[in-house]
Structure formats: C-alpha cells, structure tokens
Chains A and B, each alone.
Chain A
Amino acid sequence: MSFVTLNPGDFVVSADSITSTLWSDNTTTLVNYFTSSTAITNNAYLPVYNVNPASNTSALPQFTISYGQINGSGSAPLNAAIPGKSPTRITYGQFRTLITGDENTNLNFGAGNTNSPDFYVINISRANYKEKLFLSTFNLALSGSDGINPSLIKLTNNSADVTSLTYCDAGRVFDIVSGSNGSSTTSIPANSSAAGYTVSGSYGKFLPDVGLIILNARALALSASFGGIGLSPNTGNTSNALGSTNTGLYNSLKNASSFGFSLNSEETITSDYVFVRIQNSDFNYTTNPSMISGSGEFYYPSLINNPQTYITTVGLYNDNNELLAVAKLSKPLVKDFTKEALVRVKLDF
C-alpha cells in the first residue's frame, strides 16, 4: 500500500491575520508622489504613483484622488443640456451610497458638518491593501503651502481612542483626526470643542474594510489656526476645474512629503494544517529505481530485513488518487521499521 487515509482529527484549519507594508516598494511610509500624463476621462480621478510612470513603465498606482460634490459643481456636466450631472456629482452619489446606504443621507463628519456637501476620496489600490487597511498604522500629512508649520496637519484615525466599534454600510468606520498612530492629539484648534477635531467636524472617515479614506473638504478648507490647510476645491464647471481640485489635494500631499503617508495592510490567511502521521511499519520500502532492479530486487541485500527509505515529498490526494497538493521536506527524513514521524503540512488559501 502506498496511501494512508487521513482521519478527521488530522485536519486543523487556522485563520491568521497577516500584516504587511502597503506600498509597492515595501516601505512603510510613502514619501514620493508622482502622477501620470495619461489623461483620465473627465479628470474624474487622479492616480498617484510611488515612482515616476514616465520613466518606469512598471509603475503602479498606489491610490487615487477624487472629489465629490452633491450638486455637481466643480466639474463639467456630462451633457451640457443636463446641468448638475457631472463627475463630482457621480462621485458624491457613488460614495454616499457605498458608505451610508441611503441616497437621502449625506455624509456626517460630526458637529459643524453633519450634512456634508462635498468630500475628497483617497481610494487605496486593492492589490496594495489586500483585504483591509491596518488601523493604527495610518498617518497622513498634508500641507497647504510648503510643509512648514502651522499649515501642516498630521492625520490619523481614532481607532486607539474609541472604546466601541462603529459600523456603516461599508463596514467599520473611524473618524480621521489630528494625531498619530490611531490616537488623537490633545490640542484643540480654534473654535473647536474637541481635541483632534475642527470646527467643521472630523477630518474625514477612515473605512478600513473597503480601503477608503474620505476627507472632509470643509475641514481642509479651514485656515491653519482652525486646524485646516486652506485647501479649497475649484468650483468652476469645467473638466479642468476638477483636475485642479484633485491636483490641489495631491500638492498638499507633496508639500508634506517629508512626513509622508504611512499605512499597512492586513489580510487573513486561512491555513489548512494536515497532520501526516507515519507509523513505524509504514513506508519502509520504495519504488525508487536506484534501489531496485527492473525485476524488483534490492541492489543492497542488507535492505531486505532492515529496509531504509528517505522521505523527501509528501503528497496529498483525494479519493480518486489525484494529487492535489504536494510538500517537500528541507532535507531527507530517514525512515525504517524503528522510526515514526509526524509531518505537519501547511496549505494556505
């Protein structure tokens, strides 16, 4: 016999959370931002790269920037005869539906902006964040001018401050606040009543399960003393206006590039452990042609009564003897009638 049936107790399924760096170059903090000269239809969004796509053809977008406005201002209508139905309106409706699940409920960034008419969206590339964003690693620096205080703001989510999770239609949701590593700062901007928040509410929403960062445009538009960076969207009804708005946030990222954008990904890897139990009386003979002649006789007579084999490979089969998975040992494992072995085979999905 060359097959051994596995028992139910030989299988263990384990799910482990694996965190890793999010950006393509495996760095924890993105400090270089580039855009492509390739035009996006209607300037609906702006892909941001970690290397220059003009000189590196394998460059991949790390995230995109887009802007949504409830009335469609800030971009050209898709059809001049139908005002208001523009890319900014589409973006607003798209993310409002995704986040609130209700076309009649606008985004609520808290006291000062409970019915927000607009927002920026940073949409992390799915291949980068794998399954979800890792909460307390989120640190994003923005600056309205040249990265020098006080126009510089450092944002994080409030995942370390909250005592209970809040869910929306897009999974877990956290406020984006001024602070670092998941904790709000203790300083309170002018006219604000809470540390880390502005008079126009939080800086945005952090949605780790869908890889989205929604930034409160009203908070960013505030002046430095109120906790903002003076970033205002272009309200013109032209395609270039939306390009200008997206580029405005991009420039705010670049201005603060010395602090960068740090974020990690999180992924649940489900592993199937199969315990292969090798009894002393099993697998002591081999069909290896270097041990036996064409007629099946041993080359070494001493192996007749004391056969010895070397396990190198474990094959996992279905009932039809079809080889489904295979594992190799790092070195040959000697086996004879006096030895037993336990091999734990890990199969990741």
Chain B
Amino acid sequence: MGFLNNTSVTVDAILTKKGRELLAKNDGSFRITQFSLSDDEIDYTLYNPNHPSGSAYYGEAIEAMPILEAFPDETQIMKYKLLTLPRGTAKLPVLDVGYAQITLRQGASLAITPQTLNYLGATTTFEPSGYTATIGDSRVLATFNGVGVNTTEAQALNSSTTIGTNVSKTVVGTTINLTATTVNTLFGTRSSLSTILIITGRDSGARITIPVTITKVTS
C-alpha cells in the first residue's frame, strides 16, 4: 500500500507590464480575481496517436518539452488559452472579425464587430459578454474603445488612460472602435507605424491577432 500524492505544483509568477502599470496606478485595478490557463509553446503536431507504445505515450514528445520562462509582455503570453467546453465538441470556437490585417491612414476610423464561429452549437454568434480587445501600442490610436457592454468594469476600462511610452490598452465591447493617431512625431522618419490588435471572446476564449498599420499622411 502506498501513499497518494497530494502535493501541488508550485510555480513563481511575475508581474506583467500591465500588472506593473496597474499596480503603479494604485486605483484598485490591480486585483487578481480570476485565472486562465494556456498551452503556449506546445506544438500539437508532436502528438502521436500512432505511437507504438500505446496511448500513454501519444504525448511523449510534448511532455519532454523544456518550457521557457515567463515573458512580462502581456500581449506575447497566454496566447492560446485552454477552454472549457462540453465533452464531444467537434469544432472549436474561432473568431471572425472580417479582417486579416488592418491598415488605417492617420486620423481614419474603423469599427470592428467580431463574431464567434462554432460556439456552443451555433455556427455564428455574438458572445453575450462581448469581446476583449488589446492594442499592443496604445499611442498609435487616437481613440480606442469598446461599445455594447455596459458593465461598470467595461466602462471603467474603456475610459482609462495611461500616458507615456508604448503600453498596451485593453477595452471591452461587442464593437471595437479604432481611430488612428494624428500625431506626426510618433512616426519620426518612418512612413507607417505597426502594432497588433488582439481580440478575445470573453465567453469562448477564442482569440485572433491582427496586424495593425497606421500610414502617415504626408502634408
């Protein structure tokens, strides 16, 4: 008779850039209330359902993978979230925003209304809790907000501002509004600015990353 293993895995966490920013704001927004899991780095093509040693070894190559340390950039980690879905789900939810990439001229605006495909039996749906949108460099947009979700948290998030260097900004809504910056000095000698827009379904966890380019209007 042996003992059951009742130990837990212990890991050290680091603050993300956003975490440090919110800690510095000291406005109560640095408050951990929920968690999520991801399988960043995992390459499921290493999964081998034909392994000669049987099903216990299908994931042998994946389990042998040495894992990198955590990155503090919140836009570069937790990319592929794990989802809780009913057993037997044949197709996983994916987001469709209608754009593979976004290019805006200085001062131009765009409204994005994401949809979720394959979620809870529906071919296409708008998630009730809306979508979280994170712009990697908030400076490239003059306005960036979400509409359609009227919770206190969403409204506070949509109205928050951090001045300074290239910090990310996250908003919540069913429609995300973007207006490109009109500030010329950000461009320096370049003709365009680039960043990424990450949209995540708040119910499904599905995520899509879209490159964003702001082109300078030569005056």
Contacts and interface: CB of A to CB of B under 8 A. Distances in A.
A56 interface: no
Given A2-B205, A312-B39, A341-B9, A321 B82 contact: no
Given A3-B34, A321-B200, A312 B40 contact: yes
B18 A296 contact: no
B91 A296 contact: yes
A300 B179 CA distance: 41
A4 to B, nearest CB: 6
Contacts of B9: 329, 333, 341-344
Nearest to A335: B82
Interface in A1-19: 1-6, 11
- Most chain B CB inside 10 Å of its own CB: which residue of A297, A321, A330, A333: A321
B165 interface: no
A327 B14 contact: yes
Nearest to B156: A320
B82 A322 contact: no
Contacts of A202: none
Contact of B59 (A4, A329, A334): A334
Interface in B11-62: 11-16, 18-19, 22, 29-45, 47, 49, 58-59, 62
B22 to A, nearest CB: 7
B92 interface: yes
Interface string A278-289: 100111111111
B67 A324 contact: no
Contacts of A167: none
Contact of A294 (B11, B94, B202, B207): B94
Contact of B29 (A3, A302, A322): A322
Given A328-B67, A329-B11, A284 B82 contact: yes
A327 B33 CA distance: 16
Contact of A331 (B16, B63, B70, B89): B63
A154 B16 CA distance: 48
Contacts of B13: 274, 314, 316, 325-327, 345-347
A80 interface: no
A225 interface: no
Contact of A310 (B12, B42, B85): B42
A323 interface: yes
Contact of A325 (B19, B40, B41): B19
Contacts of B94: 287, 292, 294-296
A340 to B, nearest CB: 11
Contacts of B91: 292, 295-298
B154 interface: yes
Interface stretch (B73-81, B102-110, B135-143, B183-191): B73-81
Contacts of A289: 80
Contacts of B22: 318, 322, 324
A319 interface: yes
A317 B43 CA distance: 25
A332 B65 contact: yes
Nearest to B94: A296
A297 to B, nearest CB: 5
B16 to A, nearest CB: 5
A218 B71 CA distance: 57
Contacts, number: 279
A295 B58 CA distance: 24
A291 interface: yes
A275 interface: yes
A347 B23 CA distance: 13
A183 B53 CA distance: 66
Contacts of B114: none
A40 interface: no
B178 interface: no
Given A274-B35, A346-B10, A2 B82 contact: yes
A337 B34 CA distance: 21
A319 B85 contact: no
- Most chain A CB inside 10 Å of its own CB: which residue of B49, B71, B74: B74
Contacts of A103: none
A236 interface: no
Contacts of B70: 313, 326-328
Contact of A312 (B44, B67, B153): B67
B205 A313 contact: no
Given A309-B42, A316-B34, 7 more contacts: A310-B42, A310-B59, A315-B37, A318-B32, A320-B29, A344-B8, A344-B11
Q: Which 8 A-B pairs have the closest CB atoms?
A: A2-B205, A324-B19, A283-B82, A327-B13, A288-B80, A291-B44, A342-B8, A323-B74
Interface of A: 1-6, 11, 272, 274-276, 278, 281-292, 294-300, 302, 304-305, 307-335, 337, 341-348
Interface of B: 8-16, 18-19, 22, 29-45, 47, 49, 58-59, 62-63, 65-72, 74, 77-78, 80-85, 87-94, 117-118, 132, 153-154, 156-157, 170, 172, 200, 202-207
14 contacts: A1-B204, A291-B44, A296-B92, A296-B94, A298-B92, A308-B58, A315-B36, A315-B77, A318-B29, A318-B34, A320-B172, A341-B9, A342-B9, A343-B8
